[in-house]
Structure 1
Amino acid sequence: MKAKYTLFNVIIVCALCIGLCNAGAFAKSKDLLLVIDTSLSMAGYGGKNIMPLVKQSLPKFIDQLDDNDSLTLVTFDTEVKIYPTVYIKHKSNKDILNKYISMVEAGGKWTYTMAMMAAVFDKARKLQAEDPDREQVIIVITDAIDDPPPYARAHRYDVKKIAKQYSGNEWFIFFVNLGQMQKDSHIAKVQKEVKENISQYTKVIDAREGLDKVITQDLKKDIDTMAKVKEINTRPFYMHPIFIIVVAIVLLIILLLLLRRAAQLKVRGALEYWNNDLLEPTIEKVNLTAKNSRTISIGKDSHNLIRIHDFTLRTPILLKAVWFDKAVKCQLIAPENTVQFVNRDAGDILNDGDIFKIANYTFKYYEG
C-alpha cells in the first residue's frame, strides 16, 4: 500500500511540474504602458511630494524589463502626453526610457483621469493590433485624485462611458495607489469598474507604505504572476494542471487495477500425477498455488517448475493462469493430439476434478 501511495505522489508532482513548466514555456513578450500622474498633487500640493521617489524607483523597474518587451511612457494631468514606444533590444534602449523618466515633472493643475483612460486604452488597442501575440500591461501610478479641468467637468471619470469599445480585452491593468486613506474608496471603485467592464486582470497595488519596494520589486512579480494565471486560464483544457492531475489519477487507478488483475493471474489449486506404465504407481501431489507463478511448466528437464524424470514427452506441457468467463482459470497447453481426457471431452480450460492423460502419465487437477 505504501508503494502505491508513493507512486501516486510521484504522478501528482510530475503533473504539477508539467503544468508549471508549461506556464513558463508559453511566456509572451509584453507591451507596457507606464502611466504617471503629473498633477500638482503628486508634487506635494496639498500633501506629500512623492514624485521624486517615483522617479528614483522607476529606473530599477525598467532595468527588470525582458528583451523584446516594449515600454510606452504616458503622463497625464490637464492633458495626456504619450512618449514614443521603446522596444528593449539593448541597454541603450533602457537608457532612453530613463531619460524620459528624468524629464517628467509634476506641474499640471488638473487631473483629467477620463482623458487618460481613453488615450491609454486606445494606445493599448493599437499595440495589440500590431502584434496580437504580445501581452498589453497598463500601469497607472497615481494618488487617485480625479479633478478634471473646468471645461471637462461633465467628463468626470466613468468607465462605463468608454467600456463598450474596450470591453472584452485581457490586458493587465495595475493601479499603483499613492493616495491617502480617504482615496481608498475611489481607487477601489476604479478597480471594480475596470475589472467588470474592461479586463478581468485588474489589480490595485497599495504603495502608500514602501513605494520603492512596490515599484522595484513587487510590481514585476505581480506582472509575472498575472501572466502565469492568464496563461493557465487560457491554455487548452488538456494542458491545464487540473486536467493533467485528473488524467494522472485516472491512469494511476487503471494502472493499479491492471496490477491487481495481473497479481490475480496465478495458477492455483493442486495437481496429482502418476505413471501409467507401473502396476502400483506412486501418486505425487504438488501444491500449484505455492509455486506463485502465472505459468507452470511440467517436463523431464531441470528447468521445469514440476520435474518428472521418467516423463516420456519431450516437449514440456504448461499450466497457465488465464481470465475465463470473469474468473481466473487454469489453461492446459500441450502439443497437439497428446492430451486425452478421462472424465470429459477435450478442452484446454481445466475444471475441478479433471483427469487427463499425456504420454505415460495421468494427471488430476484440483481447483482452488
Structure 2
Amino acid sequence: MNTIRLPKALGLERASGVYILILFIVVFGAMKPGLFLSASTVHSVASQQAIVALLAIAVLVPLATGVYDLSIGATVNLTAIVVCVQQQYHGWGMWSSIALAIACGVLVGVINGFIVVVLHVNSFIATLGTATVIAAVQSIVTGQSQPLPPTSPQWLDLTQMEVLGFQVVVVYLFVVALIAWRLLQHTPAGRYMYAVGGNAEAARLAGVRVGVWQWASLIWSGTICGIAGVLYASLVGPSLTFGGALLLPAFAAVFLGATQFTPGRFNIWGTVLAVYLLATGVKGLQLLTSVQWLNDMFNGVALLVAVAFAVWRQRRAARPTPLVVPVDNSPAAKAGSRPAPTPEREPTADNIAETAITT
C-alpha cells in the first residue's frame, strides 16, 4: 500500500505550529462561530498583534547574536510618547516627529550596545537597567500624565487605512519581517550574526568582529522599537505602561518560533507564526471563558514549553553516537599502507558561519 508523505518542511517537527493554528481555528470556530470567525475578530487580532510581532522581531535579532534586549517595552513607550508630545505640545509636523521618535529608538540601541560591548556588562543586566532609566525619562517628558494623541486625519491614516480589509499596520509588519528575513538568511551579515550567537569565541578566532555585530543587532532592535512605538501611538494612542505588557508575549513568540520551520534556530517566519498562534489561542479561550488572566498564563506556559523543548533538543543532539569503524579489505590495507589523512579546513569566518547556520 502506497503512503503519502509530506515534504520535510511541512512535517510535524518543522511546521507543527501551522497545524495547531488550524486546529485552534476549527475548534474555536465551531464552538463560537458568531464571535470567533467574525470579520471584526479576525481584523482586530491581525492589527493588534502586528505590534507584538514587530517587538518579537526586535527581540529576535539580538538573540541571534547571543545577547538579550529587555528594554524593548520601555523603548516602545518612550517613542510613542515622543511622537505624540512633539505634535500636540510643540507644534512639530507628523514626519519630523516620527523621525525624532525613531531616532530615540536608535539612540537607545547605541547606548545598549556601548554598555554591552565596550563596558562588557551582561546584556540581561544592561538592558534591564536601561529600561529603568528610560521609564524615568518618560516620566520627565510627560510630567507623569497621559499625553493626548494627535487627531489629524493624516496621523490616523498612518495605521488605520485599510488594505484588502486589514489595517495597513499589518502590511508594515510583513515589510519589516521580509527585510529582517532577507538580512538574516541571505546576507553575509546574517551569517555572521548567527555565527556569533552560535559560538562567539570560535567566531572571534575566525576573524568575525563579535562586538560589532552584537552592537549592530541592538541598534536594529532599538530601530524596530522606534517604528513599533510610532505605529502603536497612531493605532491606539500613547501609553505609559503598554510596552512592558508586551515583553513576555514577544519573548514567548521568539522562543516558540525557534521550534518552527528551522528548529533550533531563531527565525523570522517562525516568530510571526508563533505570535498569531498564541494570540489565536488566547482569543478563543477568552471568548469561551471571559477570563482576563489567560493572556499571561498562556504566554508564560508557551515560553516555558518552548525553552524546555529547545534544551531537550540540544541535549539530544549532544549525545555521542557510537563509533563504527569500517573494515578495509583492500590490498593496500592488507599491505599495511594507510591513505593520506584529509587536511582539516582552517577556521574562517565563512565556514564558522556556515556551521552555525546548518546546526
TM-score (norm 2): 0.23
- Larger helix proportion of the pair: 2
- Larger strand proportion of the pair: 1
